[in-house]
């Protein structure tokens, strides 16, 4: 084997790229990852990626917000220091709703986004793990781990056959450290 670490098929058209994925899969070539400048619908099914569980996480965080708000309001207004405001009951449940709603949204949104950032290892200052600089611009990149394929030439021709504009052999995994 040469020094090649990753073989990248660079496509100019998302449909050609999807075709490329099919071709590779038909020939049992394992795909490491796919990098695209925009979300590609239907690609998860092709690559067998499971549905994201983030919506469930968001629901959980939202519920946490609701409960936090209720507990806080109940503690402050009913338990700790009930105030006599025009003789009205301290536990004025309908008045609790706006703040409970706002905290539900706040916790749900922030909890979900932070989970997203955490799970994708995104944070300010992280060195971007980019394999090809045009993947965020106009190219759709299929990356194949060169260690896992026996015949690199065949992968090249499969990618070319599917319509890849160029096929790159990268000696380093990520280009963006330079």
Partner 1 sequence: MSSHHESILREPLITGENITYAKVTDDVLVPVENKANRAWWIGFTIASLGALMWVVAVSYTFWTGIGAWGLNKTVGWAWDITGFVWWVGIGHAGTLISAVLLLFRQNWRNSINRSAEAMTIFAVICAATYVISHMGRPWLAYWPLPLPNQFGSLWVNFNSPLVWDVFAISTYFSVSLIFWYTGLLPDIATIRDRATGLRRKIYSVLSFGWNGSVKTWQRFEAVSLILAGVSTPLVLSVHTIVSMDFATSVIPGWHTTIFPPYFVAGAIFSGFAMVQTLLLIARKVMNFENYITMFHIESMNKIIIVTGSIVGVAYLTELFIAWYSGAEYEQYAFLNRVSGPYWWAYWSMMTCNVISPQLFWFKKIRTSIAASWILSIVVNIGMWFERFVIIVTSLHRDYLPSSWVMFYPSVVDVCVFIGSIGLFFTLFLLFLRFLPAIAMAEVKLLVKTSSEQSKKALIKAGKVDKEHAKFYVESLDKYDSVNQADYAKN
> How near is the Cβ of 61 to partner 1 at its closest, in Å?
10
Instruction: Spell out the residues 6+ positions from residue 68 whose beta carbon is closer than 8 angstroms to its own.
Output: 103, 107
> How near is the Cβ of 90 to partner 1 at its closest, in Å?
10
Buried b (16+ CB within 10 A) or exposed e, 107-129: bbeebbeebeeeeeeeeeeeeee
> How near is the Cβ of 41 to partner 1 at its closest, in Å?
4
Cα–Cα nearest to 30, from 144, 142, 140:
144
Q: Are strands 166-170 and 140-145 parallel, antiparallel or unpaired?
A: unpaired
> How near is the Cβ of 25 to partner 1 at its closest, in Å?
14
Indicate the residue among 117 and 154 with the shorter CB distance to partner 1. 117
Q: CB neighbours (10 Å) of residue 166?
A: 14
The answer to whether 59 and 109 are in contact (CB under 8 A) is no
Site for partner 1 in 40-99 (CB under 8 A): 40-44, 47, 49, 52, 54-55, 58, 62, 72-73, 76-77, 80-81, 83, 85, 88, 92, 95-96, 98-99
Give me the half-sphere count of Cα atoms (radius 13 Å) on the Cβ side of residue 23.
Answer: 20
**Residue owning tokens 């990248």:** 8
Indicate the residue among 122 and 171 with the shorter CB distance to partner 1. 122
> How near is the Cβ of 54 to partner 1 at its closest, in Å?
5
Element containing residue 158 per DSSP (H, E): helix 152-162
Indicate the residue among 6 and 35 with the shorter CB distance to partner 1. 35
Q: How many residues bind partner 1 (CB under 8 A)?
A: 68
Residues of the shown chain interacting with partner 1 in the complex, contacts defined by CB under 8 A: 12, 14-15, 33-44, 47, 49, 52, 54-55, 58, 62, 72-73, 76-77, 80-81, 83, 85, 88, 92, 95-96, 98-99, 101-103, 105-106, 108-110, 112-113, 116-117, 119-131, 133-138, 176
């Amino acid at each position: 084997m040469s020094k090649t670490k990753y073989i990248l098929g660079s496509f100019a058209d998302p449909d050609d790229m999807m075709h490329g994925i099919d071709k590779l899969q038909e020939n049992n070539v394992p795909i490491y990852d796919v990098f695209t400048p925009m979300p590609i619908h239907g690609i998860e099914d092709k690559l067998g990626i499971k549905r994201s569980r983030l919506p469930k996480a968001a629901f959980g965080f939202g519920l946490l917000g609701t409960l936090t708000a209720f507990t806080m309001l109940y503690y402050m207004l009913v338990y700790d220091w009930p105030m006599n405001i025009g003789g009205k009951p301290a536990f004025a449940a309908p008045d609790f709703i706006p703040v409970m709603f706002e905290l539900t949204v706040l916790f749900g949104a922030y909890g979900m986004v932070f989970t997203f950032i955490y799970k994708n290892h995104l944070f300010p200052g992280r060195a971007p793990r980019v394999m090809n600089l045009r993947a965020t611009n106009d190219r759709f990149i299929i990356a194949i781990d060169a260690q896992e394929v026996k015949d690199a030439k065949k992968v090249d021709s499969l990618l070319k056959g599917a319509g890849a504009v160029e096929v790159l052999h990268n000696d380093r995994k990520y280009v963006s450290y330079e």
